[in-house]
Amino acid sequence: MKRADHGNPPTRATITVLDVGDAGAPTRTNWRVFISSAVIILGITIWAIAAPEQAERIIGTTVDWASQKLGWVYIVTLTVVLGFVVFLAASRFGSIRLGPDHSRPRYGLGTWTAMLFAAGIGVDLMFYSVAGPVAQYLEPPTGAGETIEAARQSVVWTTFHYGISGWSLYALVGAALGYYAYRFKMPLSIRAALYPLIGRRIHGRTGDAVDIAATVATVFGLTASLGIGVLQLNFGLTYLFGWPEHIALQVGLALLGVAMATISCVSGVDRGIRRLSEINFLLAVGLMLYVLLSGKSTMLIDATVMNLGQFISHFPEMTLETFAIDRPDAWMNSWTLFFWAWWIAWSPFVGMFLARISRGRTIREFVTGVLVVPFLFTLVWISIFGNSAVDAVRSGHSEFGDLAISTPEHGFYMLLDQYPGATLVAAIATLTGLLFYVTSADSGALMMSSFTSHANRPGQDGPKWSRIFWALAVGALTLTMLFVGGFATIQYMTIVMALPFTVILYLIMVSFWKSLKQEEGNLRTSGTSHATGKPRKWRKRLARTVSNCQADDANRFIEQVAEPAMLEVANELAKTGAEVSLTTAQVPETRVRQLDLTVSLDGHLPFRYQIYPVLDATAVGQVPQQPAANGLRLEVFSATGSCGYDVMGLPRKQLIGDMVDRFERHVALGRSQTVSEDMAQFLKQPGNWSEDFSDADQ
């Protein structure tokens, strides 16, 4: 949406006419965010190439310090975020939609589930579903390895690291971004979620710093996952065709993955990512069922049930476990702290992607879907593959256990080698891993292009060239780290780069809570409007109610009454320094223009007053069974949906009174220093719009 240019301070507002071309106008690159992010990433990459030993030593020292001094921050953050999103879903705020109250989801439950699953779970799930449980069985964080207790806890620890704690980060970021973007027409960006705290500074350097932190964290989080993917796929081809595990083959795989990801992200969500996600989900389910049915089915089902029970009973203890006494530093850095930092690094782009595909869902539906569906799939997947791997080690295949720890990319395929039809199953697993790689890379590139762009409307994708750039950048960084043997450096950088975004997560929670409380207050204080008129004008009210408004009548009212009234209010608000937008566009199905007034308020939810033509098939006075196809209502909409009344036929002063009434209620719960106090003084002046409107019909 375009905004009127008001100067400094603004004194006049203008009408911006939107057409189909405006709605589809391409996004603009935010060069400050784009260049800053690229320079930071390029600088670290060059450093790692030029002095790999120095980089690994310095970053490793930093990670050791962060682990010992600040490790508890990651652990507490994941716990707080989980409690926050579960509370929101269970509370009265859970019924609020990510969009206007009348909006409904665009994607069906099956497609939506497949996309959130594919975006939020990378190829590393295949990597760690075998390596993780075997490592926890042989080398548990506490106690002796290779015991019955270690076997019972091995899958639980791996499930914990892939469980609902990490997905709660996606739920928080996704719900907050979707709320501001689709309910209040703000940009679909991380900075928008901080608007109630920092106000207009989201448009300046403070907002840029937030998006830079999100972009850099995302790049290193993705690189860690894709580096694992390249190693895994390389051994898959070695297993299938005997090709060597060599850097040249890894380069080819990375280039293939980048090419597929580029094609997919350029195609957009509907044609590229959606279809790949659905295929990926089906292949993963088929692979899991094959191992279940071909292996010790009864034992695996029993183990899955047992793992679920142990996870539930041990979760409160595990989620706050810092190992303060006899702390296993190496284990913490390799597992819990690395995974928590990894989740935090992924949360900006996955959260934004989930918001991108979740318009119209309630907060309760969104949080429940994001927490429960992937967790249940992950639990079953890790239980089947993990328990199968641990059972193989306990049955005497000690070389398999050693291999799964020393070269974990071999573990998954070595497990499949123990089943009939291993070659075919390994081929399907390789294809599944490739699709995991591509769906992570393409959704990541799509969201990073959004981080570094100015969108014209919520949900609009970044420029295609930017999507291609970020797909290539992540691929190039992955290859660079593989060349210099710097995968450990990438893991360490993930822990370090996630720390700044941890602070942003707390700010998002505070901002989101403030907005939800304010919206609740707005709903409590919303009362009758001047639009209903005074009792002594009941004849005119009845006449207006039973009239059958046509397109010509509505356009005439828009032109002669509504537009001048809204422009007058917009001009008065502009005098106070408000950031005002007044736009108009024709609604094709009605052939009537709509008017949309939006006012941005620092530290406060944006105010919106929209007059929108709605087809009315229940017009009074029509013959039954013959609805008035051309009957119209000019309904008032706020940011949260229809206000439920028609303003067609109101005089100008009464329409102005309705706008001012709603604006007063909106700012009453959280007045900003720059706008609301000035406006309040104006409203108190004699002769202005806060006067009694008993003569409004004259």
For the beta sheet containing 15-17, the strands, ordered from the edge strand earlier in sequence to the opposite edge, are: 15-17, 579-587, 592-601, 604-615, 632-638, 641-646
Q: What is the per-residue pLDDT across 92-128, written as a single tens digit (0 to 9) for each?
A: 999 999 987 778 888 888 888 877 776 667 677 888 8
Q: What pLDDT, on a 0 to 100 scale, did the predictor assign at position 302?
A: 96
Instruction: Report how far residue 291's alpha carbon sits from residue 412's, in angstroms, rounded to the nearest whole number.
Output: 12
Q: In which band, very low, low, confident or very high, does the pLDDT at 664 lie, cut at 50, 70 and 90?
A: confident
Q: From residue 405, give the alpha-carbon distance in Å to each of 28, 128, 132, 148.
A: 47, 10, 8, 19
Q: What is the per-residue pLDDT across 493-523, written as a single tens digit (0 to 9) for each?
A: 777 778 888 999 999 999 999 888 877 765 5
Instruction: Report how far residue 358's alpha carbon sits from residue 120's, in angstroms, rounded to the nearest whole number.
Output: 14
Q: What pLDDT, on a 0 to 100 scale, did the predictor assign at position 534?
A: 46
Query: Which residue, among 161, 591, 232, has the nearest Cα to 382 in the 3D structure?
Result: 161
Cα angle 560, 1, 16; round to 5: 30
Q: What pLDDT, on a 0 to 100 scale, did the predictor assign at position 276?
A: 75
Residue 102: how many CB atoms within 10 A of its CB?
11
The pair of structure tokens assigned to 698 is 């004259």
Query: Which residue, among 166, 141, 131, has the nearest Cα to 382 in the 3D structure?
Result: 131
What's 636's DSSP letter?
Answer: E
The pair of structure tokens assigned to 250 is 């890894």
Q: What is the per-residue pLDDT across 581-639, written as a single tens digit (0 to 9) for each?
A: 888 888 877 888 888 888 887 767 788 888 888 876 544 444 334 334 457 888 888 87
Q: What is the per-residue pLDDT across 404-422, written as a single tens digit (0 to 9) for each?
A: 888 888 899 999 999 999 9
Instruction: Report how far residue 178's alpha carbon sits from residue 355's, in angstroms, rounded to the nearest whole number.
Output: 5
Instruction: Count each helix (H run) and each strand (E run) in the chain, helices first.
Output: 26, 8
Instruction: Report how far residue 47's alpha carbon sits from residue 56's, in angstroms, rounded to the nearest whole number.
Output: 10
- CB-neighbour burial class of residue 301 (10 A; exposed 0-12, middle 13-18, buried 19+): middle
- The β-bridge partners of 204 are none
Average pLDDT score, the chain: 80
Q: What is the per-residue pLDDT across 532-550, written as a single tens digit (0 to 9) for each?
A: 444 445 555 545 555 566 7
| Ordered alpha helix ranges (H), 139-204 | 148-161, 164-178, 184, 195-198
Q: What pLDDT, on a 0 to 100 scale, did the predictor assign at position 353?
A: 84
**590-606 as b/e: b if 16+ CB within 10 A:** bebbbbbbbbbbbbbbb
- Residue carrying the six token digits 């950088």: 493
Instruction: Report how far residue 644's alpha carbon sits from residue 561's, in angstroms, rounded to the nearest whole number.
Output: 20
Helices 148-161 and 363-394, interaxial angle, to 10°? 150
Q: What pLDDT, on a 0 to 100 scale, did the predictor assign at position 268?
A: 58
Percent of the chain residues past pLDDT 70, beyond the cut: 81
* DSSP character string of 23-58: HTPPPEE-HHHHHHHHHHHHHHHHHHHH-HHHHHHH
> pTM of this prediction?
0.79
Q: Say which range, 10-14, 129-133, 420-424, has the weakest mean pLDDT.
A: 10-14
Q: What is the per-residue pLDDT across 243-286, written as a single tens digit (0 to 9) for each?
A: 888 888 888 888 887 887 777 767 655 565 677 777 888 888 89
Helix, coil or strand: residue 618: coil
Q: What is the per-residue pLDDT across 332-374, written as a single tens digit (0 to 9) for each?
A: 888 998 889 889 988 888 898 889 889 889 999 999 999 998 8
Instruction: Report how far residue 540's alpha carbon sits from residue 543's, in angstroms, rounded to the nearest whole number.
Output: 5
Q: Say which range, 1-10, 298-307, 312-321, has the weakest mean pLDDT.
A: 1-10
Q: Which residue has the higher pLDDT, 534 or 9?
A: 534
**147-173 as b/e: b if 16+ CB within 10 A:** eeebbebbbbbbbbbbbbbbbbbbbbb
Instruction: Report how far residue 579's alpha carbon sits from residue 165's, in angstroms, rounded to the nearest whole number.
Output: 39
Q: What pLDDT, on a 0 to 100 scale, did the predictor assign at position 449?
A: 87
- CB-neighbour burial class of residue 635 (10 A; exposed 0-12, middle 13-18, buried 19+): buried
Q: What is the per-residue pLDDT across 36-55, written as a single tens digit (0 to 9) for each?
A: 999 988 888 788 778 878 87
**475-485 as b/e: b if 16+ CB within 10 A:** bbbbbbbbebe
Instruction: Report how far residue 318's alpha carbon sits from residue 333's, in angstroms, rounded to the nearest whole number.
Output: 16
Q: What is the per-residue pLDDT across 441-462, written as a single tens digit (0 to 9) for each?
A: 777 788 888 888 877 666 667 7
Instruction: Report how far residue 202's alpha carbon sits from residue 208's, in angstroms, rounded to the nearest whole number.
Output: 7
Residues 6+ apart with CB under 8 A from 279: 435
| Ordered alpha helix ranges (H), 102-142 | 109-120, 124-138
Q: What pLDDT, on a 0 to 100 scale, did the predictor assign at position 15?
A: 57
Q: What pLDDT, on a 0 to 100 scale, did the predictor assign at position 696?
A: 33
Q: What pLDDT, on a 0 to 100 scale, did the predictor assign at position 272?
A: 59
Q: What is the per-residue pLDDT across 153-211, written as a single tens digit (0 to 9) for each?
A: 999 999 999 889 999 999 999 999 999 888 887 878 888 889 888 877 888 888 899 99
Q: What pLDDT, on a 0 to 100 scale, did the predictor assign at position 365?
A: 94
Domain coordinates of the chain in residue numbers?
Answer: 28-399+468-517, 534-684
Instruction: Report how far residue 506's alpha carbon sits from residue 427's, in angstroms, rounded to the nearest whole number.
Output: 43
In one-letter notation, the amino acid at residue 673 is Q
Positive or negative: CA dihedral 469, 470, 475, 479: positive
Decide if 109 contacts 375 (C-beta within 8 A).
no
Helices 464-483 and 487-525, interaxial angle, to 10°? 140
Q: What pLDDT, on a 0 to 100 scale, did the predictor assign at position 393?
A: 94
